[in-house]
Amino acid sequence: MCYYNGVKVTRIEYIRLKQLEKLIANYDFLSNPLHVGFEYAPHPVLKKQAEGKDFDLVQMEWGFIPSYIKDRDAANKMRFGYKDEQGVFHPMITTLNAVSEELLQPRKIYRQAALQRRCLVLSTGFYEWRHLFPLSKKTGKPVKTAVKYPYHISVKDQPYFFMAGVWQPWTDQSTGEYVETFAIITTAANTLMDQVHNSKRRMPTILPEDLAFEWLLGDLSEERILEIARYQYPPAQMAAYSIAKDFREAIDPAAPFVYEDLPVLQEAL
Amino acid sequence: MNAVNSFEIIYQDRPLVIQELSLSGRPMFVVPVAGKKPLVITTATGSEGQVFWTSIPEGQQALAASIGQLIEAHFQKNK
């Protein structure tokens, strides 16, 4: 249980009040309605305090930078890909998400973080693309290139919810810059996300409050870490609706947008 | 942060102009403090469901509670 100004409050209320502190200080925090992974921008995260009994609301950079990356230049090469001196292109390595099933495998970059530095990523909602293959008017067969529709996904009746994450302290060895970066854990899609994110059939590991704080503060066995990391949030408690294809440029990126040709999602149970 | 309203209350025999803001969907009240940053107060819900006034950030609980009561009285009077 948390105290704010000496009064006992729930964790959720504590987080809301802490969020208001940041907003008042003109600190760009949860005020951003849309966090796009490939912008590698700061994001609000709950991090366990050093004593291990409580947590802080901090900002971390989304996009896990492994400790072997020496400086920003190397981090950018990892994130965006690059051509070496011989003209050979090295594709990007994406560290926005960590696959739950592989989290603790030996030599995985997320292993130590999953054992020692778990965090909770605060979210108001996220988006994913639904891929459809309508019948071609010319051939009568499904088109080869998918038509993509963006969806906004959130948790019903919850202004904020928790995604499981792992974080990594990182220092640029050239400049001394220190940042904390994180990756969001993903799990197999539930029956709702299976319809929305139907190209990859994955979803972020969204945790209810009891599991969220066990993930953040608990002294967990490897088995339990994997169990929580693979948790599938109940689809009936989630909401998904289509949004405009140019939502990234919209004033309200989460505004619903109806497409006449878009089949409705089947009710998720 | 959008200013939506301002009104006056009397605190310790002196008028105070309170600015009401809506921040993250929550009403907040900005109280001027001579020579210092203004005090921002709001209501929060305790773990037992009780509503209480609090300063944002923490540290001015007593002041938040007493000015909060005056703000409540203002709204009661102007219902």
Would you state the pLDDT for residue A36?
57
Minimum distance, in Å, between the CA of residue A142 and any CA atom of chain B? 45
pLDDT band with cut points at 50, 70 and 90 for residue A65: very high
pLDDT band with cut points at 50, 70 and 90 for residue A71: very high
- Using a CB-CB cut-off of 8 Å, the residues of chain A touching B28 are 20, 24
Minimum distance, in Å, between the CA of residue A25 and any CA atom of chain B? 9
* ipTM value: 0.82
Mean pLDDT for A110-123 is 95
pLDDT band with cut points at 50, 70 and 90 for residue A53: confident
- Residue A40: pLDDT above 70? no
Would you state the pLDDT for residue A28?
40
B54 to A4: CB separation less than 8 angstroms, yes or no = yes
Is the pLDDT higher at A23 or at B58?
A: B58
- Using a CB-CB cut-off of 8 Å, the residues of chain A touching B40 are 24
- Which SS3 state, helix, strand or coil, does residue A4 take? strand
- Residue A1: pLDDT above 80? no
Would you state the pLDDT for residue A29?
36
Superfamily of domain A32-81+92-126+158-236: SOS response associated peptidase-like (3.90.1680.10)
- Residue A157: pLDDT above 60? yes
Is the pLDDT higher at A268 or at A80?
A: A80
Cα separation of B38 and B31, whole Å? Answer: 5
**CA angle centred on A187, ends A222 and A14, rounded to 5°:** 80
B56 to A6: CB separation less than 8 angstroms, yes or no = no
Average pLDDT, chain A: 87
Chains A, B: CB pairs < 8 Å = 56
Q: Which range among A231-235, A243-247, B54-58, B75-79 shows the weakest confidence by mean pLDDT?
A: B75-79
**DSSP letters along B27-70, please?**
EEEEE--TTSPPEEEEEEEBTTS-EEEEEESSS-HHHHHHHHHH
Helix (H) or strand (E) holding A185: strand A178-188
- Residue A50: pLDDT above 70? yes
Cα separation of A212 and A160, whole Å? Answer: 13
Evaluate whether B22 touches B12 at the Cβ level (below 8 Å): no
pLDDT band with cut points at 50, 70 and 90 for residue A268: low
